[in-house]
Amino acid sequence: MTDVEFILRRPCENLRTRCIHRHVRAHDDDLKARIAKTIDYVRGARPVAFAGAEDRAILFPLIENLVFDSNGFEYLRDWALPHFYFHVVTAYDILRHNGVEIGKRDYLSHTGVHIHPRA
pTM flag (> 0.85): no
Instruction: Please check the confidence at residue 4 and state whether its pLDDT lies above 90.
Output: no
Per-domain boundaries in the chain = 3-114
- What's the pLDDT at 9? 59
**So what CATH class is 3-114?**
mainly alpha
CB 1 within 8 A of CB 60: yes
* pLDDT digits 0-9 by tens, 15-60: 555 555 454 454 567 777 877 888 888 888 888 888 898 999 999 8
| Dist. CA 57–CA 3, nearest whole Å | 11
Instruction: Please check the confidence at residue 119 and state whether its pLDDT lies above 90.
Output: no
| Dist. CA 102–CA 32, nearest whole Å | 16
* pLDDT digits 0-9 by tens, 86-116: 988 888 888 889 888 888 888 787 888 888 9
Q: What does the pLDDT average to over 3-23?
A: 54
CA 24 to chain centre: 17
Q: What does the pLDDT average to over 55-75?
A: 91
